[in-house]
Chains A and B, each alone.
Chain A
Amino acid sequence: MSEVKYLTEFYHLPEFKGIEGYKKNGGYVELGKALKMQPQEIIDVVKASGLRGRGGAGFPTGMKWGFLPKNGEERYLLCNADEGEPGTFKDRMMMERAPHQLIEGMIISGFAIGSKKSYIYVRGEYDESINSLLAAIQEAYKAGYLGKNILGSGFDHDMDVYRGAGAYICGEETGMISSLEGLKGQPKLKPPFPAVQGYLKKPTIVNNVETLAAVKYIIRDGAEGYRKYGTEKSAGSKLFSLSGNVNKPGNYEVPLGYPLKDMINVLGGGIKNGKKLKAVIPGGSSAPVLTAEEAMKATLDYENLAAAGTMLGSGAIIVIDDSKCMVECLANLTHFYHHESCGQCTPCREGTGWVDKIVHSILSGKGRLQDIELLVKVADNMKGRTICALSDAAALPIISFVTKFRDEFEYFVKEGKSKVKGTAYKGHAYAATASH
């Protein structure tokens, strides 16, 4: 198996960004085709394709669409482009290089679910993506792909871009809905789920950029055609963002089921500076870490990574070589989740701060041996106890880091310095109590 160019086929062409170049390379053909289909047909083919959400949770897209009430009630399609998961940068490339691909996928999806209005919620830092999308939406309106009576089908659809303000929690679908509504970006209690009561209390579907873009290709190739790549339970291709200590970091599109080993050694060009692989975080910072040994056996698909005790997540592969101290790596993560917890649910609000302080106290040489066990206990009790998954996302790396690299933590507590580096923590004297 090797890298594929399915979604990214024309990404190397600068002209693919504009509507002319996009149309020259097969753009908006599937929109015309889809508008002649019955909406239910589209939902059925998406269901049959086995497409799963590419944002992180991997929920089957067709099934999600099927949760919408079967009435004519006003509904919304939201595109989640608040790519906040540390290590992930695939959506950014898609929006910058192929904004029309996303727009076309969204119009088709909007038609399938009967939504006349959609928003793309873009991460605030993504200036380039926002400009690219705004320009493309304008082009699409001019060309009659958006607005009233699209291509004479009688279907109306309006699209808008909403700029986020940089909160990680706004990438959680109900947090995003709150933010879009003008409220504080906090996840909402479920049930009711967004498909029943979402944006402005109307049925709402939230899908990731890559998911919505893929819909166009499912229409083009049909369910079977889409399943050409991937495995039975993980159909299609996926973009992975490879980063960390590899020679060639970047976005790579591979069929699901691709070996992680090849991702690092073949596509990524191996570990940088001739060092050895120590650990891999396979699905964004929230995914439990894999040891080098586990990583060599893993394949990049939902079921295999789940069996390995981790997850595919957003497809952000962070490679860690053997010169890195795992206590410091974990401190980076705990700091992030402490900073990003919305503060709504008590276990997450208090727990993220607590574990962050414990890890930093270990780093500063003040750790106690019982702190290592305490980290796991606290993380265990943060898991599954909150409205959204941020608390789990904060807890899972802690448990995996501490259990898989316990020796490094114990060494740090006993010796007051890093086992790998042989030195005390040289990072900035971060005080967990200080205001961020």
Chain B
Amino acid sequence: MQQQPLINCTINGVALQVKAGTTIIEAMYENSQKIAHYCWHPGLSIAGVCRLCMVEIEGNPRLQIACNTVVTEGMKVNNTSEKVKDAAKWGLDFHLINHPLDCPICDQAGECGLQEQYMEFGKYNSEMAEKKQKKHKVVDLGPTVVLDSERCILCSRCVRFTDEVSKTHELGIFNRGDHAEIGTHAGKPLDNKYSLNTVDICPVGALTSKDFRFRQRVWFLKDQETVCNGCSTGCNVKVYFNKEGVFRVKPKRNDAINGHWMCDEGRDIYKFVNKEHRMIKGHKLANGVWNTELHAGAAAKDAALSLQGVTGNDIALVVTGQHTVEELEAIVSTFVNTYKTKNVYHWWNSEATASEFDGILLRGDKNPNTKGLQQVFAKHGITTKFSDLDPSKVKHLVVVGPENVPVYKDFTAKLEFFAKASNLIYMTAAKVDSLVANKNLAVGGKTATIIPLKTFVEKAGTFVNHAGVSQTFKKVTTVVSEALTLVEAAALLAGQEIKVETLNPKNLLVAANERADKVTLDFRKKNEFIFQRGKL
């Protein structure tokens, strides 16, 4: 391919070289120069309606919008002159005259485009003395999103998203002039697998997520990038959390993997990370009685003791593609080296649907690291078939269960199947009450141990996605400090001593259903509508 010549331009005094066809706003965005904008979004078509991205181009008496002006050779652009600042101030004021300014009760406060631009260009008293337009409030657009039309600045990002990305065309702008409002057509609510992206791209608090609204002020949240473990696409995401847990997941731009978007399913992954859905304590079954107050490390050590001297066909390991490459390598090599067995099985819930793809992001394989697991298996020469596993013949069965349980449709049936083993060691991040109540375990003097594990947000590691792209991510936060990573559990099972990380020993004392500040979860639930989507 012929190399396209680069175009020279100067933006705010900085000489830049950009590809032919680049718009001014793209040039500024890519070179980290600040420019106010609402309607422009790098992942959507150009609307040119907010009129905030005004720039002054040398030789042109009229200000131009940066989003629809292509850079030409020798172009000199600035957006710092008084003329531009005044235009931006007025552009902002036009956005604000009918805006309700209900920041104190608005979920977007703290990450709102209007607030940000006001601090940049505004800081004035409004001259608007007339009555504001009245529009619809609390409009239920669909199962996931609520609209406040008065806050809406009609940038049309959400409409363009449903037209261009999800291609579901649910949203439109109805009426005209200052009566215009976003809305859905009768009988066609905003209900698609990517609907919450509209909330992300909404620059103001007009579209809010039913799942997140009223749960946290955003300034009480920190964020950290990681990789979604919802399916084999491996979208890059930002997880928002504080010491109470994880509250939401948003996409992070990665053009090679997920662009600007992520699916609604992926946004639910934080739910099984939080304490109320987690295995907090180690469990041990002996003589038909469960001890449910074991420390995770103690449970792992007990399990290691029960496996002492066991080798070969008396023991088997079951793993899923829900753990990192590093963890899988640790546990598999423990079995191959310490227990001298290659009875390692791949529990793959979605093998049949693994090749499915919706054309946007969602894939049929609901495990983030199936490829990574296959690589570890190949390295150790493991060629078993899951269908060959018979727990009743294997005396000691170690299962590393999935943390995203909802995508394992036959989960309970599989647990009963595993419970046929006379000594079951089940490692899990997710709470599995059904295992404790399992009738197969209660008979015949069986023993069982449950070891709590950490979730993907609580550890660093690597996932290999469907295309073989290896993505390494950092630890986000710690939710259950006592739980072990699979690397730690593997070391304990191998009889090694480890130092278990306890960030805040006080946290260990907090019961599972209580927050650190002693507000019980039951009380919290009344004030939130997190547990059932689609109901306000």
A contact residues vs B (CB 8 Å cutoff): 167, 169, 184, 189, 191, 338-347, 349-354, 357-358, 361, 368, 370-371, 374, 377, 381, 384-387, 432-433, 435-436
Name the residue on A nearest B46 (C-beta).
A189
Which residues from A are CB-within-8-Å of B87?
381, 385
Question: Contact at A343–B131, with CB atoms within 8 Å?
Answer: no
- Which B82-126 residues sit within 8 Å CB-CB of chain A? 87, 90-91, 94-95, 97-98
Decide if B18 is an interface residue (CB 8 Å cutoff).
no
CA gap between A345 and B39 in the complex, in Å: 10
Q: How far is the CB of B171 from chain A (nearest CB, A)?
A: 13
Candidates B47, B127, B132, B173; contact of A189 at CB < 8 Å: B47
Number of CB contacts from chain A to chain B under 8 A: 100
Candidates A338, A361, A386; contact of B178 at CB < 8 Å: A338
CA gap between A352 and B133 in the complex, in Å: 12
Question: Contact at B48–A189, with CB atoms within 8 Å?
Answer: yes
Question: Contact at B177–A347, with CB atoms within 8 Å?
Answer: no
Which residues from B are CB-within-8-Å of A370?
127
Q: Please classify how large the interface on chain B is, using the bins under 10, 10 to 19, 20 to 34, 35 or more.
A: 35 or more
Question: Contact at A341–B48, with CB atoms within 8 Å?
Answer: no
Which residues from B are CB-within-8-Å of A368?
129
Which DSSP category, helix, strand, loop or mixed, fits chain B's interface?
loop
Contact with A along B124-149 (1 / 0, CB 8 A): 00011111111000000000000000
Contact with A along B47-66 (1 / 0, CB 8 A): 11111101000000011000
Question: Contact at B62–A384, with CB atoms within 8 Å?
Answer: yes
Which residues from A are CB-within-8-Å of B90?
347, 381
Question: Contact at A346–B130, with CB atoms within 8 Å?
Answer: no
With A189-B46, A353-B133, A433-B133 in contact, do A184 and B62 touch (Cβ < 8 Å)? no
- Which B246-286 residues sit within 8 Å CB-CB of chain A? none
- Which B378-402 residues sit within 8 Å CB-CB of chain A? none
Question: Contact at B95–A350, with CB atoms within 8 Å?
Answer: yes
Candidates B47, B131, B177; contact of A338 at CB < 8 Å: B177
Question: Contact at B94–A351, with CB atoms within 8 Å?
Answer: yes
CA gap between A316 and B286 in the complex, in Å: 97
Which residues from A are CB-within-8-Å of B177?
338-343, 349, 352-353
CA gap between A352 and B47 in the complex, in Å: 20
Residue of A351, A361, A385, A435 with most partner-chain B CB within 10 A: A385
Decide if B176 is an interface residue (CB 8 Å cutoff).
yes
Name the residue on B nearest A373 (C-beta).
B127
With A358-B130, A433-B133 in contact, do A345 and B176 touch (Cβ < 8 Å)? no
Decide if B2 is an interface residue (CB 8 Å cutoff).
no
With A350-B94, A385-B87 in contact, do A343 and B130 touch (Cβ < 8 Å)? no
Question: Contact at A432–B130, with CB atoms within 8 Å?
Answer: yes
Question: Contact at A350–B68, with CB atoms within 8 Å?
Answer: no
CA gap between A191 and B48 in the complex, in Å: 11
Which residues from A are CB-within-8-Å of B133?
353, 433
Decide if B188 is an interface residue (CB 8 Å cutoff).
no
Question: Contact at A350–B127, with CB atoms within 8 Å?
Answer: no
Which residues from B are CB-within-8-Å of A344?
47, 49, 154, 156
Candidates B51, B127, B128; contact of A347 at CB < 8 Å: B51
With A347-B91, A384-B62 in contact, do A357 and B131 touch (Cβ < 8 Å)? yes
Q: How far is the CB of B450 from chain A (nearest CB, A)?
A: 58
Q: How far is the CB of A425 from chain B (nearest CB, A)?
A: 16
Name the residue on B nearest A342 (C-beta).
B176
Question: Contact at A349–B154, with CB atoms within 8 Å?
Answer: yes
CA gap between A377 and B87 in the complex, in Å: 12
- Extra contacts, 9 of them, besides A344-B47, A385-B91 (Cβ < 8 A), are A184-B172, A342-B176, A342-B177, A343-B154, A346-B52, A346-B94, A346-B154, A381-B90, A386-B51
Report 21 cross-chain contacts, Cβ distance below 8 Å, ordered by A residue.
Answer: A169-B176, A184-B172, A341-B176, A341-B178, A343-B154, A343-B175, A344-B49, A345-B49, A346-B50, A346-B51, A346-B52, A346-B154, A347-B90, A349-B178, A353-B178, A358-B130, A361-B129, A361-B130, A381-B87, A385-B54, A433-B134
Q: How far is the CB of B113 from chain A (nearest CB, A)?
A: 12
Name the residue on A nearest B128 (C-beta).
A354
Question: Contact at B153–A346, with CB atoms within 8 Å?
Answer: yes
With A189-B47, A353-B133 in contact, do A343 and B179 touch (Cβ < 8 Å)? yes
Which residues from A are CB-within-8-Å of B127?
370, 374, 377
Question: Contact at A354–B97, with CB atoms within 8 Å?
Answer: yes
CA gap between A205 and B95 in the complex, in Å: 34
Which residues from B are CB-within-8-Å of A352?
177-178
Contact with A along B5-38 (1 / 0, CB 8 A): 0000000000000000000000000000000000
Which residues from B are CB-within-8-Å of A341?
176-178
Decide if B305 is an interface residue (CB 8 Å cutoff).
no
Q: How far is the CB of A196 from chain B (nearest CB, A)?
A: 14
Which residues from A are CB-within-8-Å of B153?
346
Q: Which 8 A-B pairs have the closest CB atoms?
A: A343-B180, A357-B130, A353-B178, A381-B90, A341-B177, A350-B94, A189-B48, A343-B176
CA gap between A196 and B175 in the complex, in Å: 29
CA gap between A110 and B63 in the complex, in Å: 36
Name the residue on A nearest B47 (C-beta).
A189
Q: How far is the CB of B232 from chain A (nearest CB, A)?
A: 37
Q: How far is the CB of A333 from chain B (nearest CB, A)?
A: 15
Which residues from A are CB-within-8-Å of B172?
184
Q: How far is the CB of B378 from chain A (nearest CB, A)?
A: 50
CA gap between A350 and B173 in the complex, in Å: 15
CA gap between A340 and B180 in the complex, in Å: 12
Question: Contact at B130–A354, with CB atoms within 8 Å?
Answer: yes
Q: How far is the CB of A273 from chain B (nearest CB, A)?
A: 36
Question: Contact at B51–A343, with CB atoms within 8 Å?
Answer: no
Q: How far is the CB of B63 from chain A (nearest CB, A)?
A: 8
Question: Contact at B95–A346, with CB atoms within 8 Å?
Answer: yes
Q: How far is the CB of B478 from chain A (nearest CB, A)?
A: 45
Candidates A167, A347, A358, A436; contact of B179 at CB < 8 Å: A436
Which residues from B are CB-within-8-Å of A358?
130
Which residues from A are CB-within-8-Å of B178?
338, 341, 343, 349-350, 352-353
CA gap between A432 and B134 in the complex, in Å: 11
Q: How far is the CB of A327 from chain B (nearest CB, A)?
A: 16
Q: How far is the CB of B426 from chain A (nearest CB, A)?
A: 58
Which residues from B are CB-within-8-Å of A371?
129
CA gap between A226 and B227 in the complex, in Å: 72
Which residues from B are CB-within-8-Å of A357?
130-131
Contact with A along B411-428 (1 / 0, CB 8 A): 000000000000000000
Name the residue on A nearest B98 (C-beta).
A350
CA gap between A387 and B133 in the complex, in Å: 23
CA gap between A350 and B97 in the complex, in Å: 7
Name the residue on A nearest B176 (C-beta).
A343
Residue of B68, B95, B130 with most partner-chain A CB within 10 A: B130
Question: Contact at B46–A353, with CB atoms within 8 Å?
Answer: no
Which residues from A are CB-within-8-Å of B154?
343-344, 346, 349
Question: Contact at B94–A387, with CB atoms within 8 Å?
Answer: no
CA gap between A342 and B49 in the complex, in Å: 11
Name the residue on B nearest A436 (C-beta).
B179
